[in-house]
Structure 1
Amino acid sequence: MADKRMKILIVDGYNVLRSGSRYRSMRHAPDYTFEKYNQVREALISDVAAFAGSEYRSVTVVFDGGDNPESAGKTQRIGVVKVVFSPYGSSADKVIERLAHDAREKNFEVLVVTSDATIQDTVFGGMVTRMSANGFSNEIDDLHDEAKVEGHARTKRKATVADRLDRSVLEKLEEMRDRL
């Protein structure tokens, strides 16, 4: 049996929001506000959770908080996703590099989602691979398309409890009903 390594997913949050085709429209939106920005960030976190499914042991989205004196670099959990804003004075790149290095040292498979050349030059190799921001955007679009098709297929016919019961159980239930 093949050795099954633990898998870690690390996403360069703002890089994906700026570079990923799925999220690019937010940059040019006329109603670019703090609230809109938060909505897009939340959409990314939701998309990351959907992408990760049950395949990854650890899922982290890192946002750059290095210019914000209020940022302490604490990890927040939103569902299965750990969200980290890099601490004041440190870039998201440094946090991603540390997370990837630590996971590689533990012999985990690591997928880093980024289009940042600096990170690519620093962390990739060995058990660390990369997916571009656009590649991730395309994967998420495919996931959403599949969900729409599956949802549409499910609604084409009426599903009842009787459809899921064994025929003998259904006959017994019908017999009981008829005696009433």
Structure 2
Amino acid sequence: MTGNGTAGRQQLLIVDGYNVLRSGSRYRNAPDEDYTDDTFNAAREMLINDVVNYAGGDYKAVIVFDGAKNAFSDGEAETVGGVRIVFSPAGQSADKVIEKLAHDARERQVETLVVTSDATIQDTTFGFGVDRMSADGFSREVGMYYEEARLDETPKVAQKNTVASRIDPVTLAKLKALRDGAGR
């Protein structure tokens, strides 16, 4: 899905979780502010899966969700499929966590892509020299990848790959004649 031409160089992908869920066309079925709804949890799981697939081996990926209003959020990261999932600590916005991650990556000269449609984050992270992708751009790119994968897989699965299918017709006829004649 990636193939961005930076062979051997690890890049950082930072995803503004709730912003992508609210702004990305793939995830618009998520409900409003009550983050306990099963539909919302399904959309969040879908986003995590999409980021795992998008990151592949090209990116170290972090999804940051806003936990500022959750008194129990400690900002500790959890890893799912190689992707770090972070809920910002209580009292601190996801925006601040994303800005710090982008700044720190730039200090280490790590190429960074931030996925968000939040104008403030866009302005701040551009100041750090990182690349940006909109939430809807990410949604479209992931959707196109899955569509291409389905189209590519159909012919591969439908055709049986045998030795006989790889031998030219003349040689195949000679082999069949040998086989049929060998039994006499």
| Same fold? TM cut 0.5 | yes
Following the alignment from structure 1 to structure 2, what is the Cα–Cα distance between the partners of residues 88 and 164? 62
**Which residue of structure 2 aligns with residue 93 of structure 1?**
95
> Which has the larger Rg?
2
Helix, strand or coil: the match of 1:88?
coil
- 2:70 corresponds to: 68
Which residue does 2:106 correspond to in 1? Answer: 104
Question: Mean alpha-carbon deviation: is it higher for 11-20 or for 121-130?
Answer: 121-130
Task: Tell me: CA distance 1:5–1:127, structure 2 relative to 1, closer, same or farther (3 Å).
Answer: farther
Mapping of residues 24-103 of structure 1, within 5 Å: 24-27=28-31, 34-56=37-59, 58-103=60-105
Pairwise CA distance, 1:34? 2.1
> Residues 136-155 of structure 1 correspond to what in structure 2 (within 5 A)?
136-155=138-157
> Are the structure 2 counterparts of residues 163 and 115 from structure 1 closer, same or farther at C-alpha, using a change threshold of 3 Å?
farther
Structure 2 CA distance, aligned partners of 1:165 and 1:93?
Answer: 56
The number of residue pairs the alignment matches comes to 165
Q: Structure 2 CA distance, aligned partners of 1:38 and 1:163?
A: 49
Inter-partner Cα distance in structure 2 for 1:104 and 1:91:
20
Instruction: Please state how far the C-alpha of 1:54 moved relative to its aligned partner.
Output: 1.1
Q: What does residue range 99-138 of structure 1 map to in structure 2 within 5 Å?
A: 99-125=101-127, 127-138=129-140
Structure 1 residue 4 displacement after superposition: 6.9
| Structure 1: distance between partners of 2:71 and 2:51 | 27
> Aligned-pair distance for 1:80?
1.2
Letter in 1 for 2:152: E
The letter of the residue matching 2:28 is R
Tell me the residue number matched to 2:170.
none
Amino acid at match of 1:139: E
Task: Name the CA shift for 1:163/1:14 in 2 (closer, same or farther; >3 Å).
Answer: farther
- TM-superposed CA distance for 1:25, in Å, is 2.6
Query: For residues 23 and 82 of structure 1, what CA distance do their matches in structure 2 show?
Result: 20
Measured in 1, the distance between the counterparts of 2:157 and 2:129 equals: 42
Letter of the 1:37 counterpart? F
**Aligned equivalents of 1:34 and 1:164: distance in 2?**
52
RMSD: 2.7
* Cα shift at 1:50: 1.0
CA distance in 2, matches of 1:141, 1:135: 10
Please give the secondary structure, in 2, of the residue aligned with 1:9.
strand
Q: CA deviation at 1:86?
A: 0.3
Shift of 1:112: 0.0
**Residue 19 of structure 1 is aligned with which of 20, 23, 41?**
23
2:12 is matched with which residue? 8
SS state at 1:98 partner: helix
C-alpha distance in 1, partners of 2:49/2:164? Answer: 33
